[in-house]
Structure 1
Amino acid sequence: MDQSFQIKKKIIEVAAGREPADLVLKNAVFVNVFTGKLQKGDIAITQGVIAGIGGSGRSGASGGDTGYHGRTEIDMSGQVICPGLIDAHIHLESSLAAPVEFAKAVIPHGTTAVITDPHEIANVMGTAGIDYMMEATCGLPLDVFFMLPSCVPATPMDESGACLSSRDIARYYSDPRVLGLAEMMDFFGVVKGNEECLRKLLDAEAGGRMIDGHAPSLKGKELNAYIAAGISTDHECSDVEEAMEKIERGQMVMIREGTAAHNLDALIPLLTTGCADHCMFCSDDKHPSDLLRKGHIDELIRRSVAAGVDPIQAIKAGSFNTARHFRLCDRGAIAPGYRADLTVVDDLDDFHVVQVFKNGQLVFDESGMGSRANEGRTQLVEITPPVIRKSLNDAAHDTFRNQFFQEDDFRDSKTRAVIGTVDGEIRTTRQGFSDRIQVENDILKVAVIERHRGSGHFGIGYLRGYGLRSGAVATSFSHDSHNIIVIGTSDRDMAMAVNRLTENRGGIVVENDGEILGEVKLGIAGLMSDEPLEAVERELESAKAAAKSLGVNPAIDPFMTLSFLSLPVIPELRITTRGVFDVTNQKYI
């Protein structure tokens, strides 16, 4: 008999009470996502699966004991067990660390699965970037599922390191970890019936896979066309009105709370007005300090409950709703036949994670972390890094082709559009035009430099709302093409920051008058560090402090805000290697 037969038979034997379980969580109070209530009983686990629930006070048909017994038994009195948490949409690259470091940080927050879109690294390395991320996440005690990058580059206006066609990505659908097609950012292409966009949608549908959306501010008939194309989610809603229009048309709304975009507070009413089953939680982009100090999906649950949301509805948005939507039928609930991915908390109000089980194995236990467990920082679990092919690893560490720059390269006397930042948002506004830097009026020069092919292409514009009073800030983490983006108060400072960034083969640089005040080296494709997450956090926080000391607006994240300025799919204005782009009217200005 084959192994799968033996496993299935074993689960049935344990469920029926004819064999002891591998593990029984005794006297468990757990969240039942089907009834919306707390339930009490023994949770019997074998072969990594929940075999049965018993001992809840209900008697069996014969009136006998309905409890379970196991080779190992743990008394769970005084705690609440929830399904393992799932992030519905994230770019792992945005943690600025290797995937194994991300896993070390989120598992202690109760996350047992994430659905990632590797389009950041795919924009740099093409399919080799997808391969890199799949190998870098293989075998982790965190399930990493993939949505295939739909827009590499994000739009034809971008200059990325690769261009992925429907034919390039179709082969990945045979991998069981691939769930569908990631955020279709080119909503203009979809609505206008662009051939390549439609081919990607049809390939996903042919395999019965899901298709994620990305359509900020799309309304009316254009929204109808976008959804009719088969796109079933959106994570770009910034207010309830926009979210409700999409829910009314059948989309699932991902309530996003990350480092750059903060939409949770605005969208919490969706969870209290009868729409909770149409909502999922996601982080999209999450920097190290937020992972280590605030949490992950557990943070969204905690804040939702504090705002008056029913705890079980919040937990469903962070687990069951996501699993159900993406057809992960064996997770997101505590019931027979489901994976034993469990998050144990002290109570549903504080939602403080004390233990995490993955496939029935204890992978995090706060009681074993010592006195450090109460310092308000995530206590990282130990994980052996996956093995990545040398050819992929070498390619990921060699992605810069741009030249070094002189001050004169940044000189420009033309009148350019001024982009306005919005505190706490990744959207921008129109702020008129300028032909020079005006530090006294908070008008700074911003430039995007192509770095993948050494083309020398170079776009210039101006920015208001960033607040820098002196020096320059540069990063190679600039959505989604990940060219170099730099903002400065002088041409000289901008050139020096870009050159230092190039020497480092990627990362973040804060410079002032020839002095490097802070930097983070991101040697993996210019996106991720080879260092431990805690070291990345220290470097990042030091760089943030340096940027703030130079006057950067305290209401924004200096690097996340800068990184999104080059993404030409979010209204209103963006900057690319060709200049300032008007997203609404689809033209350069």
Structure 2
Amino acid sequence: MNEFQSVALEREGATADLVVEGGRVYCSNRREFLERDVAVVGDRIAALLGDADSVTGPETTVVSATDRVVLPGLIDAHTHGDIQLIFDRAVPDLLATGTTAVVTESSGLGLLFGSRGVDTFLERTADCPITTYLTLLPQAFIDTFGPATGTAAELEALSALLDRERVVGIGEIDWIHVVGRDAPIERLYERARDAGVPIVGHGAGCRGDSLRAFATVVDNDHEAISADGVRERAENGVHVVGRCGSIRDDLDALIDAYPDLDPRSVSLSTDGVWPGDLLEGFGMAEIVRRLIEAGIRPADAIDAASRNTAAHFGLADRGVVAPGAVADLLVVEDLETMAVETVLSEGDRVVVDGDPVVEARTDPYPNYVYDTVSVDLERERFTAPLEAAPNGTVRAMAVDRGLVTTETTADAGIDAGGDASDQRLGPDPEHDVLTATLLDRDPATEDRGFTGFLTGYGLESGAVATTGTWETTGLVTVAADTDDAVVAAGRVASMGGGFVVARDGEVVADLAMPIAATAAELSPETFATKFGALEDALRESGVGIERPLLTLQTLTFPGVPALKLTASGYANVLGRSIVGLELANPPK
């Protein structure tokens, strides 16, 4: 007889460790709400009882759910736990949003350090009250815009991690890297198929024939931004991951498409919640609330945030309220507000009366993850050679909507600080022409860099710099003044990574992100304050676009199929080629 049967049979003397009493319980296997008490033994649900008084002893912890609703703990199907704010510091506030498990990329430590970084992140989250599952970042085996850096030894090391208990798949891959071409990344995918784990897709802009081909590679995708895009993914057998978070809110598209979907084939994700939004209470419970408010059946909305994700990623005994399942539970006021009152993580109370009762972990990471910015900051690196465009007209990126930067032309300025005998191209802020420089900061790689040009950003003076670049280990500056670009980049390097705004030769705002140069070790409150100060400093320097720091971070991101920066030139993403400043048909 197992350890739960005596409680389930209500044997005399049998007692539960914890009881959630008096609530309307979402019974996952019936997809209905029933009046039940939930008896917990250790970290598992032992039984759903009509009345748990018989198994409630003097040592039993009793959680009242009278006039409340009891749900399975919510699972974020796709996030990024080691960029912006390191996961450790966000855990208490994430728990308060009803999140008890996440499937996350290791987008900072994994990108820079590969398997070693992933191993560190696994160790760091081993005892976390939010169960943390990882997907392995595949970028080292991508060769679209440069040679793949992943070695045979790294392939073996990453593949070995597929045997680890909390590694559940391969992280997101941009469709342009795999559709219609052979690529080194396929070796990693073969290992994933052998291991029987999913591959995460990033299909922004992918449709038609390309999407059909992409569906032969990936198992899920969170990039549909229209109802037709959601339907097309489902039609091609791709598990739909609806997204609503700090980067994008695509819930309306999912809601519109829901009547045409198998509800079991839908999961929900944030794709990351930034500290300012987290402090306002945004998280998985709010996403579920919005779906229910829009008319989605509560059972479907709850399953999309729990059971479906657990099933897709093979998260054993998670995402359901049923005997034998892990006791990840939340008590909410009602389904209309989804106000979280109590959260249990593996049978322990971690949120009481809406407030987390666990502390953020604040001890430092291993020494190797710090001081990872290795760049040569000579002034000329933040300008471009005149011979690249003798008549001054250059290929440039234009800030468009969202994360898109389209191709345009611009008339570059002449750098005022250079040697008169060696003139170079620089910014011309009076005409909204800025330099955009990407330097490879990885200490283990050759120091490469490229300076292009950006229009539509609006910076009238100074410069901004960051190492928080997506899918590349870079340091990016956008500058109206070359000297300020050097100041901003220098400060970022000295902090070990982060964001800096400089003006008139001085740093006016900064935010240190020293963990792999992509994540801060701050409280959410401090991070949000400093992030806001950076945005304020950019506003004071003339920037009027809605999300200037997000635009800066994504200048390197080929997941949005447009013109982007690499350390060797512009990436013509759809053309899968590197192009320079020179125009094919320059104006006369």
- TM-score of the two chains, using structure 1 as the length reference: 0.88
- Map residues 365-444 of structure 1 onto 2, 5 A cutoff: 365-366=352-353, 369=355, 381-384=358-361, 393-406=366-379, 409-413=382-386, 414=389, 415-423=393-401, 425-436=402-413, 437-444=427-434
Q: Which of residues 548, 572, 585 is equivalent to 1:582? A: 572
Closer, same or farther: CA 441–538 of 1 in aligned 2, 3 Å: same
Counterparts of residues 92-241 of structure 1 (less than 5 Å)? 92-94=81-83, 96-152=84-140, 155-157=143-145, 165-185=154-174, 187-189=176-178, 191-194=180-183, 196-229=184-217, 231-241=218-228
Counterpart amino acid of residue 118 in structure 1 = S
The one-letter code of the counterpart of 1:418 is: A
Q: C-alpha deviations, 1:269-320, integer Å up to 9, x for none?
A: 2335444332211122332112222422123223333333333322222111
**Pairing 1:41–2:36 present:** yes
The separation in 1 between residues aligned to 2:398 and 2:297, in whole angstroms, is 38
Q: 1:450 aligns to what?
A: 440
Q: Which residue of 2 aligns with 1:302?
A: 289
Partner of 1:362: 349
1:497 aligns with 2:488: yes
Contact 1:161 1:481 in 2 (8 A): no
| Partner residue, 2:562 | 572
Provide the rounded CA distance (Å) in 2 between the counterparts of 1:40 and 1:241: 39
Distance 2:555 2:571 in 1: 10
Aligned partner letter, 1:428: T
Tell me the residue number matched to 1:327. Answer: 314
The counterpart of 1:509, out of the listed 475, 500, 508, is 500
CA distance in 1, matches of 2:409, 2:339: 47
Find 1:478's aligned residue among 469, 490, 509.
469
CA distance in 2, matches of 1:160, 1:553: 37
After superposition, the Cα gap between the structure-2 partners of 1:410 and 1:23, relative to the gap in structure 1 and judged at 3 Å, is same
Structure 2 unaligned regions, length at least 5: 414-426, 580-588
Q: Could you tell me whether the CA contact under 8 Å between 1:31 and 1:37 is conserved in 2?
A: yes
Conservation of the 8 A alpha-carbon contact between 2:407 and 2:563? yes
C-alpha change, 1:44 and 1:10, in structure 2 (3 Å) is same
**Residues 279 and 430 of structure 1: CA distance in aligned 2, closer, same or farther (over 3 Å):** farther
**CA separation of 1:140/1:75 partners in 2, compared to 1, >3 Å: closer, same or farther?**
same
Contact map agreement 2:145 2:578 (CA 8 A) in 1 = no
SS at match of 2:129: coil
- Relative distance call for 1:271 and 1:517 in structure 2 (3 A) is farther
* 112-121 or 301-310, which deviates more: 301-310
- Give 1:67 deviation, angstroms: 7.1
Residues 7-53 of structure 1: CA deviation (Å, up to 9, x unaligned):
x7111222222222222211111223444432211111112111111
2:511, 2:531 within 8 Å by CA — same for their partners in 1? yes
Asked if the contact 1:151–1:186 (Cα under 8 Å) also holds between the matched residues in 2, the reply is no
- Amino acid in the other structure paired with 1:253: V
Aligned length: 554
- For 1:403 and 1:162, how far apart are their aligned partners in 2? 24
Per the alignment, residue 59 of structure 1 pairs with none
Paired with 1:154 and 1:288, the residues of 2 have a C-alpha distance of: 31
Deviations 1:498-538 (A, max 9, x none): 11111211100011111212100111111122333322222
For 1:169 and 1:240, locate their aligned partners in 2 and report how far apart those are by CA, in whole Å.
36
Cα drift, residue 70 of structure 1:
2.1
Q: Distance in 2 between matches of 1:519 and 1:262?
A: 28
Counterpart code for 1:430: E
Match of 1:17 among 7, 10, 21: 10
Preserved contact between residue 474 and residue 508 of structure 1 (Cα < 8 Å)? yes
Give the % identical residues.
27
TM-score for both structures, normalised by structure 2:
0.88
2: CA distance, partners of 1:262 / 1:483: 27
The one-letter code sitting in structure 2 at the alignment partner of 1:143 is: T
CA distance in 2, matches of 1:587, 1:434: 23
Q: Give the letter aligned to residue 189 of structure 1.
A: V
- Distance (Å, rounded) in 2 between the aligned partners of 1:386 and 1:68: 44
Q: Secondary structure at the match of 2:277?
A: helix
Residues 1:322 and 1:203: Cα distance change in structure 2 (over 3 Å) = same
- Partners of 1:25 and 1:502 lie apart in 2 by 51
Name the CA shift for 1:106/1:161 in 2 (closer, same or farther; >3 Å): farther
The structural deviation recorded for 1:160 is 9.4
Distance 2:363 2:167 in 1: 19
Q: Which has the higher mean CA deviation after the structures are superposed, 402-411 or 24-33? A: 402-411
* C-alpha distance 160-176 of structure 1, shift in aligned 2 (>3 A): same
Q: CA deviation at 1:221?
A: 3.2
Q: What whole-Å deviation, never above 9, does each CA across 1:182-208 have from its counterpart, x for those lacking one?
A: 1133543353233x3222111111112
| Cα RMSD after superposing both structures | 2.5
Q: Helix, strand or coil: the match of 1:191?
A: coil
Q: Deviations over 1:395-429 (max 9, x none)?
A: 10121221223267425443433323344x32333
Q: Distance in 2 between matches of 1:299 and 1:412?
A: 51
Residue 159 of structure 1 contacts residue 577 of structure 1 at CA under 8 Å; is this kept in 2?
Answer: no
Distance 2:274 2:141 in 1: 23
The one-letter amino acid paired with 1:214 is H
Shift of 1:541: 1.9
Cα distance in 2 between the residues matched to 1:13 and 1:548: 65
Query: Distance between the aligned counterparts of 1:218 and 1:320, measured in 2?
Result: 28
2:274 corresponding residue in structure 1: 287
Which is further off, 270-279 or 499-508? 270-279
Amino acid at match of 1:399: T
TM-aligned CA distance change 1:508 to 1:274, over 3 Å: same
Shifted more, 241-250 versus 256-265: the winner is 256-265
